[in-house]
Structure 1
Amino acid sequence: MKKLLLIALSFYVVPGFAALDAYEKKVSNGKVLFFKGPNLTAEQFSGMPYNRKPDPAWLENQTKPDAWRTMAKSLSPDDFKAMTQEELDQVYMRLSSGPILPGDYKGQAMMKGAMTSNIKNFILKKIHGVNLMQTMCGQRDIFECFMEFAWEGKRIYPADASTGEYLLRNAVSQSVAHTIKSVMAPAGKKLIDPSNWLLRTLSPFPGGLRYMIFPAHLYCGQSMMDHRRESIVADYAWGSDFSPFIIGLDDIFGRNFLNIREEIRMVRPGLYLGRVYAQKIFLFNFVLHNPVVEKQAQGGQWPADACFDGKSTR
């Protein structure tokens, strides 16, 4: 009995993250604290099983809130590109939702090898014209290539006056419409757009006119990465609730196809880190940045979270 109790306690008292090494990574305006396994590089540790990685609560306990905010203020959007997936995870786990601030946010997708070949094949089988897309992208990762070519960011619309609901749409390059049509044509597919809704979605965005497509409900919801506190969730399942909604295009992200769900947390006002899931499977990370919102918030108080922050005061 005593032996069994000691074995049970060993699983509880000696978690996989008990002997992690701290290290600092240089970023644009300072350094950020991370943790990794002993005698491993950051890249090697990123590929380790999750039961060998830090628990969110343990990780957050290693950094005081004021110290973390100083680190967060030192980050620029480009700093995330140089991080491993584990480093991005450790940043995300120390964030809270922040407020939902309407505006236009330039976006940047980051593929960090998170998608296995099986997941990629599952998604690619559902997309027509993959061979043509691969020809366009050459030897580059097809997902990263297409995201750079097509996706430019997100727009968060002000809350509806009657319902209080938020709407999010994705800003897509005008040239992508021609590519979509050429990709779908060999497969005998075409956009169902009898009212030219695609043209109706054209709207000014940083950099020029962009299509505002792939609508999503925006609300507070549980994070699939860190259950302690809520994230801002972009839910595409019922994007058809919004008009315009383009059959054959907007429904790609919807409940009957990829069923995309994104979760977003604030690094600092105007800068957000997000995660993309399809069919509840993690795909990749993204960064959203609005320099106008960022500048307006400089020198002011740290904004309150729109979503549950994990404290028991609610």
Structure 2
Amino acid sequence: MPYTVPQLLAMSQKELDDLFSASEPGDIPDGPANGTAIIAPGTTYSAEIAEFINHFAWQGKTFDAASGTLRNRILPLGINAIIAKVYKGTSWFDKKDCIVLDYSETSLVAHWIRDEIRIISPGLYLGIVYWKNSKLINFAVQFPGQ
């Protein structure tokens, strides 16, 4: 059964962790993807917080698989900024393969951030954000038309 972003927003943290752990890394994505921050998972506030963040702070990511990079679309205008290296690596969460979004060498404002993603449905990836070495939040990136 394919997952949807509203389903992810309704899941508990344990359910998100279990889904991430049970998923494969998939291929490194390419092109623009819409983003959804998953904060306060499983609560009635999760969707409202995600909508607020989407309008005012982060809209998604644009991947360039050929160069192994991405740019985040931020602010209400959707400016492409905050670059990360993209490569396959080992997850800090469960030591399995994942796709790493590494800001340590490419961003002054986000150099302490590392994201990890795995594919959970066609065109839909579930991610984890780390602040330094600590797990911070989950997020989803969805590629339109998939």
Same fold, TM-score > 0.5, yes or no: yes
Q: 2:4, 2:28 → 1: CA distance?
A: 20
Q: What is the SS of the residue equivalent to 1:253?
A: coil
* Deviation, structure 1 residue 291: 2.6
In structure 2, what is the equivalent of residue 301 of structure 1? none
Check if 1:235 corresponds to 2:86.
Answer: no
* Deviation, structure 1 residue 173: 2.7
Q: What is the SS of the residue equivalent to 1:237?
A: coil
Q: Is the CA contact (8 Å cut-off) linking 2:34 and 2:144 kept in structure 1? A: no
In structure 2, what is the equivalent of residue 226 of structure 1? 94
After TM superposition, the structure 1 = structure 2 runs for residues 235-314 of structure 1, keeping only pairs within 5 Å, are: 235-239=102-106, 250-254=107-111, 259-292=112-145, 294=146
Structure 1 unpaired stretches of 5+: 1-70, 114-142, 161-165, 176-209, 240-249, 295-314
Name the structure with the higher helix share: 1
Tell me which stretches of 4 or more aligned residues in structure 1 moved more than 2 Å: 143-148
Which AA in structure 2 matches 1:252? V
What is the aligned-residue identity percentage?
35
Query: Aligned Cα RMSD in Å?
Result: 1.8
In structure 1, what is the equivalent of residue 40 of structure 2? 112
* Deviation, structure 1 residue 77: 1.4
Which AA in structure 1 matches 2:75? S
* Deviation, structure 1 residue 174: 4.1
Highest RCO, 1 vs 2 (Cα 8 Å, sep ≥ 6): 2
User: What is the TM-score with the length of structure 1 in the denominator?
Assistant: 0.42
Q: Are the structure 2 counterparts of residues 146 and 261 from structure 1 closer, same or farther at C-alpha, using a change threshold of 3 Å?
A: farther
In structure 2, what is the equivalent of residue 150 of structure 1? 57
- Alignment partner of 1:168 out of 49, 70, 87: 70
User: What is the TM-score with the length of structure 2 in the denominator?
Assistant: 0.87
How far does the alpha carbon of each residue in 1:87-131 deviate from its partner, in whole angstroms, 9 at most, with x for none? 101111110100112011000001137xxxxxxxxxxxxxxxxxx
Q: 1:144, 1:288 → 2: CA distance?
A: 12
Q: Are the structure 2 counterparts of residues 238 and 81 from structure 1 closer, same or farther at C-alpha, using a change threshold of 3 Å?
A: same
Q: What is the SS of the residue equivalent to 2:15?
A: helix
Q: 2:4, 2:58 → 1: CA distance?
A: 20
In structure 2, what is the equivalent of residue 94 of structure 1? 22
Q: Is the CA contact (8 Å cut-off) linking 1:98 and 1:269 kept in structure 2? A: no
Q: Is the CA contact (8 Å cut-off) linking 2:102 and 2:114 kept in structure 1? A: yes
* Deviation, structure 1 residue 146: 6.8
* Deviation, structure 1 residue 233: 0.2
Q: Is the CA contact (8 Å cut-off) linking 1:273 and 1:285 kept in structure 2? A: yes
Q: Is the CA contact (8 Å cut-off) linking 2:29 and 2:63 kept in structure 1? A: yes
